[in-house]
Amino acid sequence: MKNIIVTGGAGFIGANFVLHMLQKYDNYNIIVYDKLTYAGNLDNLLEVADDPRYSFVQGDICDAEMVEATIQKYNADTIVNFAAETHVDRSIMNPDAFIQTGVYGTYVLLEAAKKHGLRYHQISTDEVYGHIPEGQSSVETDKLDPRSPYAASKASGDLLVNAYFITYDLPVTITRGSNNIGPFQYPEKVVPLFATNAIDEEPLPLYGDGRQMREYQYVLDHCEAIDLVLHKGKLGEAYNIGTGEEMENVQMVEILLETLNRPKDLIKHVKDREGHDRRYSLNIDKIKALGWQPRHTSAEAVAKTAVWYRENEWWWRKIKSGEFKEYYERQYGHRWQTEKE
């Protein structure tokens, strides 16, 4: 591996992965290929903007010609695909771009990887397993049972990747991560939304009873695991990446408010998300056996993330005053009226 294309590398996890790789390895060139949708942000990559090992190409993964030209120009040998539409609530309002990027875009990258004999890694999610009843945890061989348009677009990507391994012997791996939190996450996702609202003493719209369970993991832990799978993962295999501990959203909010020294009465229970998956839970024995473990508990990850948002208003204030405002009104305007006492 020498020249790695990181698609979606200007987004939250992709950018953290790029920073991690450039810091850890001297001899890799990283080419970020990103469409710069509302979620893509070159501020996330400011730290490496002048690094000669880093290049940026603005492009869509659905654009086969542009993907081809980028592979040729940079003599790429590896693709790590983070590019996706990623917010479940937006997928409920308007699934179109989710299907385009998650299904067709993944196909375009796989075709290009096949043509040039590239190593291919797909970033996937625990949401492909669907809601998991209490007492159970997902293992990598479980049947995929996605329940939102977002999750279905990601599961489709996984199936395509697997098909290219079986049919064409393409050297692929997949990682399925739980909820990431940390620096540079667009403030539509629950932790940065609630942290920034709390800093401004604005209400926190908690869906339903707030007893849904998620595995909140620190983004750099996830990036270390992806790095490990890229180097040591068995080809054709998927690896779950999480904390192995679950947390109810109400607990997450309490840690966040305590860290930011804000009162609990900021929490407003609002109308639930349609088709809301109540619980995800990953069995992470397989990635642990490869030699990885998370460095942060979920509670540490939530607190550390809250502090980052308190200390980095330069990053999020301009986002929250732009496109975000219109989205916020569309997503939450009617929800405040259904607030439970």
Q: Which residues are catalytic?
A: 126-127, 150
For 49, list phi and psi in degrees, rounded to 5.
Answer: -55, -35
Give the three-class secondary structure for 257. Answer: helix
Residue 117: CB partners within 8 Å, gap ≥ 6? none
Among 3, 101, 197, 212, binds ligand DAU (CB under 6 A): 212
255, two tokens: 């840690």
| Beta carbon nearer to ligand DAU, 29 or 175 | 175
Query: What span, in angstroms and rounded, lies between the C-alpha atoms of 287 and 230?
Result: 12
- Inter-residue contact 96 to 144 (CB < 8 Å): no
Quick one: which H or E segment has residue 332?
helix 323-332
Q: How far is the CB of 123 from ligand DAU (least distance, A)?
A: 9
Residue 177 engages ligand NAD in binding (rule: CB under 6 A): yes
Binding at 13: pick from ligand NAD, ligand DAU, none (beta carbon under 5-8 Å per type):
ligand NAD
| Beta carbon nearer to ligand DAU, 169 or 201 | 201
Quick one: which H or E segment has residue 231?
helix 219-232
Q: How far is the CB of 295 from ligand DAU (least distance, A)?
A: 19
Q: How far is CA 97 from CA 14, 35, 108, in A?
A: 19, 12, 15
**Number of residues that make up the chain:** 341
Residue 119 engages ligand DAU in binding (rule: CB under 6 A): no
| Beta carbon nearer to ligand NAD, 3 or 266 | 3
Residue 190 engages ligand NAD in binding (rule: CB under 6 A): no
Q: How far is the CB of 139 from ligand NAD (least distance, A)?
A: 17
Among 87, 119, 222, 286, binds ligand DAU (CB under 6 A): 87
5, two tokens: 């294309």
Q: Which of residues 127-166 bind ligand NAD (CB under 6 A)?
A: 154
DSSP E strands, the chain: 3-7, 29-34, 54-58, 78-81, 119-125, 172-177, 180-181, 204-207, 213-214, 217-218, 237-241, 247-248, 267-270
| Beta carbon nearer to ligand NAD, 37 or 281 | 37
Site string (14-33) toward ligand NAD, x via CB under 6 A: x-------------------
| Beta carbon nearer to ligand DAU, 80 or 206 | 206
Binding at 269: pick from ligand NAD, ligand DAU, none (beta carbon under 5-8 Å per type):
none
Among 3, 29, 78, 125, binds ligand NAD (CB under 6 A): 125
Q: How far is CA 110 from CA 3, 29, 105, in A?
A: 17, 21, 9
Residue 192 engages ligand NAD in binding (rule: CB under 6 A): no
**For the purposes of burial, counting CB atoms within 10 Å of the CB of 80, is it exposed (0-12), middle (13-18) or buried (19 or more)?**
buried
- Which range touches ligand DAU (CB under 6 A), out of 26-34, 158-166, 189-197, 256-264? 189-197
Q: How far is the CB of 339 from ligand NAD (least distance, A)?
A: 26
Residue 134: CB partners within 8 Å, gap ≥ 6? 279
**Binding-site ranges for ligand DAU (CB under 6 A):** 86-89, 125-127, 178-179, 189-190, 193, 205-207, 212, 214, 249, 273, 280
**Binding-site ranges for ligand NAD (CB under 6 A):** 7-8, 10-14, 34-37, 39-40, 60-62, 82-86, 101, 105, 123, 125, 154, 177, 179-180, 186
